[in-house]
C-alpha cells in the first residue's frame, strides 16, 4: 500500500491562508452581526467590534501581516504621550462618539460628517499596506477604509484648492499627551491635491476587521502608505481645502528634519539617521527600505521632475 | 544567600545586576514589546548612564558625609557602567546592525549621535583596563589624570542620548542636569558649597548629639576634621 503524498493535492486547490483566515473573519463578523441584531445593538459602536460589509480589495500584499498585538501596542501617537506604549495605555479617555469631521475651505460643497455617515459614505474595503515609520521600523497592516478621493469628490473642491489639510482633535481632557507642549497642538498634516486624490490614499476606520482601536487613530484617520507614518493624521476632526501648502506639525517642530512630502525614500537620510534600512516589527534582520515604500509603480509619476533631495 | 547580601559590596553587586536580570526575565516572557532590539538598546544605554552618574556621585557624597569608606564601591560601580556600555555596544553591533561593517563605519562617521556615543565608549576602554590595583600602582599619579577622562566621557554619553531622541527631551535633559550638577560640585565654588553644607549638617548633628548625650562633641569635631581634609 502506498501512502498518498501531499503532491496528490495540487497546490492550486489548497486554500491560501489569507483566504481561509478571511473566511473565518467573515463568519465571525456574521456571528457578531447576528448577535448584535438580536441584542438590538449596532456592530459599529466601539473599538474591537467587527466591521460588517467589508469588501476585498486588489490592494493587498504577499507579506506577512504584523500581529494584531504589535499593531495595537506599539504606536506613535503623541497626543497620548511620547512612549510607544503610551497610546495603548492611555487612549481609553478618547471618546470617539459622537464625532464630527468638518470639511471646509475651498470647496463647493463643504459640510459636516458624523462618523456614522462617514462609515456609509463609500463601500468599506480591506487594504493590506506596508507602514514605514520615519524612525526606521515598519509593519504590514490590514486597514479597513475607503479612498479619500470619495470624500473629496463629494466636497467639490474649487480650482483654488491646491492642498488638503488634516487636523487632529485638540482636547487635552481626552488626549492627556496634549498637556505637554511636545508638539504645537493641534496636530496638522497635509497632502497635495493630486496626492490626496490618489487611489492608494485612504481614510481608515478599522483594522484587522474591527473598528479602529483608539490608539491607532480612531474613529477615522488617514493612511498614505508611500509616505512616512507621521503623514497619516489620526483622529481627524477637520479636513480643509487650501491654496497654500499647509505648515504641518512636524515641519513646525523641526523644519530641517521633516519636510512636507516625507515620501519613504532610502536615498534621502534623516539628518540624524539612515533611512536605507528598516526593521520590520517581528523580524530579526533589517530589510532594505523600498523607494516610495514599495509603491513606486503607482505613485512615482506624482513626483516626476521633482528633486526629492530638496522636496524631502 | 542572606549572609552574602549582608556584605554591602555583594549587595551592591546584586543591585547592579538587576537591570540585566530584568531584561532576561522580560525576554523569557514576551515582555520586551513589539521591538525587542530597540528595547534592549535603550535599556542598556539608560543603565550605562545611570551607573556612570552613580559612580560620579561617590566622591561628592564622600565629601558631604565624611564617610571615606564609600570610595571602596566606586570601582565596582564604574565597572558596571562599563559592563552595561559593552552590552549596549554589542546590541548595536550585533542585533541592530548584524555586523554590517560598512553600515557601521558609515553610521559612526555620518551620524553625530553615534559618533559621540562611539567616542564615549572608546574613552571608557582605558579606564576599565586600568582599574586594577596593579595598574593603579604602576601608573601612580598618572592614574588619576587618566581617570579624569570620565568627565568628557560622561558628557559625550549624555549628548549621545540628547541627540538621538526624536522629540521628547525630558529624560536626556534630566541626565544632563544631574551630570552638570555632579561636575559643578568638583569646581572651586561647588567644593566650597559642598563644604558649607557638610559643616552645617555636622553642626546640626552635633547639636542633636549635645542634646542627647554629654560628650559627643569631640566625636563630631573629629569627624569634621576628616572631611575638611578630604579634597
Q: A297-306: per-residue pLDDT in tens?
A: 999 999 999 9
User: SS3 string of A229-280?
Assistant: HHHCCCCEEEEEEECCCCCCHHHHHCCCCCCCCCECCCCCCECCECCCEEEE
Number of Cβ pairs < 8 A linking chain A and chain B? 50
If pLDDT is split at 50, 70 and 90, which confidence band does A152 have? very high
Residue B98 and residue B6 in one domain: yes
Please give the model's pTM, rounded to 2 decimal places: 0.81
**Domain extents for chain A?**
53-303
Q: A250: nearest CA in chain B?
A: B167
Cell triple for A9: 493535492
Mean pLDDT of A7-20: 47
Are A274 and B35 inside 8 Å of each other by CB? no
Q: Which residues of A262-281 are buried (b: 16+ CB within 10 A; e: fewer)?
A: bbbbbebebebbbbbbbbbb
The SS3 assignment for B229 reads: helix
* Subunit contact A272:B38, Cβ cutoff 8 A: no
Q: Cβ(A234)–Cβ(A221) under 8 Å?
A: yes
Interchain CB distance below 8 Å, A254 and B167? yes
Same domain, B195 and B213: yes
pLDDT tens digits, B95-121: 889 889 998 998 898 888 999 999 999
pLDDT tens figures, A85-129: 999 999 999 999 999 999 999 999 999 999 999 999 999 999 999
Last residue of some domain: B186, B206, B222? B186
Mean per-residue pLDDT, B202-215? 77
CB contact under 8 A, B35 and A281: yes
ipTM over 0.90? The verdict is no
**DSSP-H helix ranges across B29-149:** 36-65, 74-90, 101-110, 112-129, 133-139, 141-147
Whether pLDDT at A160 is above 90? yes
- Whether the CB-CB separation of B162 and B176 falls below 8 Å is answered with yes
Helix (H) or strand (E) holding A130: strand A124-132
Q: What chain A residue is nearest to B35 in terms of C-alpha separation?
A: A281
Mean pLDDT, residues A165-179: 97
Instruction: Give residue A35's pLDDT.
Output: 43
Q: Count CA atoms closer than 13 A to B38's CA, side-chain side.
A: 19
**Nearest CA-CA distance, residue A267 and chain B, Å:** 14
Whether residues A279 and B35 touch (CB distance < 8 A) is answered with yes
- State the cell numbers at A254: 523641526
Cα–Cα separations (whole angstroms), residue B153 to B85, B86, B120, B156: 12, 14, 5, 5
Same-domain status, B177 and B208? no
Best CA proximity match to B129, nearest among B173, B78, B62? B78
Percentage, residues of chain A above pLDDT 90 = 77
* Rounded (10°) CA dihedral A174, A179, A180, A184: 80
State which residues form the domain around B200: 188-231
CA nearest neighbour of A160 among A106, A118, A210: A106
Q: Of the ranges A34-48, A253-267, B165-179, B185-199, which one carries the lowest mean pLDDT score?
A: A34-48
Mean pLDDT for chain A?
88
Same domain, B152 and B222: no
The per-residue pLDDT for range A250-271, each reduced to its tens digit, is 999 999 999 999 999 999 999 8
B75 and B147 share one domain: yes
Q: What is the spatial distance between Cα B143 and Cα A265, in angstroms, rounded to a whole number?
A: 50
Mean residue pLDDT of chain B comes to 89
B207 in the same domain as B103: no
How far away is chain B from the Cα of A66, in angstroms, using its nearest Cα?
Answer: 10
The confidence band for B218, taking pLDDT boundaries of 50, 70 and 90, is: very low
Residue A60: the pLDDT is 87
B117 shares its domain with B134: yes
CA atoms of B35 and B40, how far apart (whole Å): 9
Q: Is 50 exceeded by the pLDDT of residue A29?
A: no
- B interface mutation test: which of A273, A277, A285 has the most B CBs within 10 A? A273
CA Rg value for chain A: 20
Alpha carbons A168 and A239: distance in angstroms, whole number: 9
Co-location of B54 and B98 in the same domain = yes
What are B3-62's pLDDT values in tens digits?
777 888 999 999 999 999 999 999 998 889 899 999 999 999 999 999 999 999 999 999
CATH number of A53-303: 3.90.420.10
Region A169-191 average pLDDT: 96
Question: What's the average model confidence in pLDDT over A285-303?
Answer: 96
- State the total domains in chain B: 2
pLDDT of res. A22: 52
pLDDT value at position A199?
97
Q: List the beta bridge partners of residue A203.
A: A146, A222
Residues A211, A214, A216, A217: is their CA dihedral positive or negative?
Answer: positive
pLDDT (tens digit per residue) in B119-135 = 999 999 999 999 999 99
Which of B35, B96, B168 comes nearest A74 by C-beta?
Answer: B35
Q: Which of B34, B103, B112 sits opposite A74 (nearest CB)?
A: B34
CA distance B46 to B66: 30
What's residue B90's pLDDT? Answer: 96
Whether residue B110 and residue A274 make contact (CB cut-off 8 A), yes or no, is: yes
Chain B CA closest to residue A181: B168
- Rounded to an integer, the average pLDDT of A23-39 is 45
Among chain A, residues having any CB pair with chain B shorter than 8 Å are 66, 69-70, 73-74, 78, 82, 84-85, 135, 137, 182-183, 253-254, 269, 272-274, 276-277, 279, 281-282, 284-286
Chain A residues with CB under 8 Å of B168 CB are 82, 182
CB contact under 8 A, A274 and B107: yes
Residues in chain A closer than 8 A to B97 (CB atoms): 286
What chain A residue is nearest to B94 in terms of C-alpha separation?
A285
Amino acid at each position: 500500500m502506498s501512502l498518498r503524498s501531499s503532491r496528490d493535492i495540487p497546490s492550486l486547490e489548497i486554500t491560501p491562508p489569507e483566504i481561509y483566515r478571511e473566511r473565518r473573519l467573515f463568519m465571525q463578523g456574521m456571528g457578531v452581526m447576528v448577535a448584535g441584531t438580536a441584542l438590538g445593538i449596532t456592530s459599529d459602536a466601539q473599538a474591537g467590534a467587527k466591521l460588517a460589509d467589508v469588501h476585498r480589495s486588489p490592494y493587498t500584499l504577499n507579506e506577512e501581516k504584523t500581529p494584531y498585538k504589535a499593531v495595537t501596542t506599539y504606536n506613535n501617537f503623541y497626543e497620548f504621550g511620547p512612549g510607544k506604549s503610551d497610546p495603548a495605555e492611555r487612549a481609553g479617555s478618547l471618546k470617539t462618539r459622537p464625532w464630527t469631521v468638518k470639511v471646509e475651505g475651498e470647496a463647493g460643497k463643504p459640510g459636516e460628517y458624523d462618523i456614522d455617515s462617514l462609515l456609509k459614505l463609500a463601500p468599506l474595503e480591506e487594504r493590506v499596506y506596508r507602514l514605514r515609520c520615519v524612525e526606521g521600523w515598519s509593519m504590514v497592516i490590514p486597514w479597513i477604509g475607503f479612498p479619500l478621493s470619495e470624500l473629496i469628490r463629494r466636497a467639490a473642491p474649487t480650482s483654488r484648492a491646491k492642498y488638503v489639510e488634516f487636523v487632529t482633535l485638540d482636547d487635552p481632557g481626552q488626549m492627556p499627551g496634549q498637556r505637554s507642549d511636545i508638539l504645537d497642538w493641534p496636530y496638522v498634516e497635509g497632502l497635495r491635491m493630486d496626492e490626496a486624490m490618489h487611489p492608494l490614499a485612504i481614510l481608515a476606520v478599522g483594522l484587522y476587521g474591527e473598528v479602529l482601536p483608539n490608539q491607532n487613530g480612531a474613529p477615522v484617520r488617514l493612511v498614505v502608505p508611500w509616505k512616512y507614518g507621521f503623514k497619516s493624521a489620526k483622529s481627524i476632526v477637520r479636513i480643509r481645502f487650501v491654496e497654500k501648502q499647509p505648515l504641518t506639525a512636524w515641519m513646525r517642530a523641526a523644519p530641517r528634519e521633516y519636510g512636507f512630502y516625507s515620501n519613504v525614500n532610502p536615498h534621502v537620510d534623516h539628518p540624524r539617521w539612515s533611512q536605507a534600512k528598516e526593521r520590520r516589527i517581528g523580524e530579526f534582520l533589517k530589510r532594505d527600505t523600498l523607494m516610495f515604500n514599495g509603491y513606486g509603480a503607482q505613485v512615482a509619476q506624482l513626483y516626476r521632475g521633482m528633486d526629492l533631495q530638496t522636496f524631502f | 544567600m542572606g549572609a552574602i547580601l549582608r556584605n554591602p559590596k555583594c549587595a551592591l553587586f546584586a543591585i547592579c545586576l538587576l537591570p540585566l536580570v530584568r531584561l532576561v526575565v522580560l525576554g523569557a516572557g514576551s515582555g520586551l514589546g513589539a521591538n525587542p532590539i530597540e528595547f534592549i538598546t535603550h535599556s542598556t544605554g539608560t543603565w550605562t548612564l545611570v551607573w556612570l552618574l552613580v559612580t560620579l556621585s561617590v566622591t561628592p557624597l564622600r565629601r558631604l558625609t565624611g564617610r571615606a569608606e564609600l570610595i571602596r564601591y566606586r570601582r565596582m560601580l564604574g565597572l558596571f557602567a562599563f559592563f552595561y556600555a559593552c552590552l549596549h555596544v554589542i546590541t548595536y553591533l550585533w542585533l541592530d546592525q548584524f555586523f554590517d561593517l560598512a553600515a557601521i563605519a558609515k553610521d559612526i562617521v555620518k551620524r553625530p549621535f553615534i559618533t559621540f556615543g562611539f567616542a564615549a565608549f572608546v574613552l571608557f576602554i582605558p579606564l576599565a583596563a586600568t582599574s586594577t590595583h596593579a595598574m593603579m600602582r604602576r601608573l601612580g599619579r598618572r592614574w588619576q589624570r587618566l581617570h579624569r577622562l570620565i568627565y568628557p566621557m560622561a558628557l559625550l554619553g549624555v549628548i549621545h542620548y540628547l541627540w538621538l531622541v526624536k522629540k521628547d527631551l525630558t529624560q536626556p535633559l534630566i541626565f544632563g542636569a544631574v551630570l552638570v550638577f555632579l561636575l559643578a560640585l568638583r569646581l572651586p565654588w561647588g567644593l566650597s558649597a559642598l563644604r558649607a553644607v557638610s559643616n552645617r549638617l555636622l553642626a546640626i548633628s552635633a547639636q542633636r548629639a549635645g542634646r542627647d548625650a554629654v560628650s559627643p562633641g569631640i566625636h563630631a569635631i573629629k569627624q569634621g576634621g576628616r572631611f575638611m581634609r578630604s579634597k
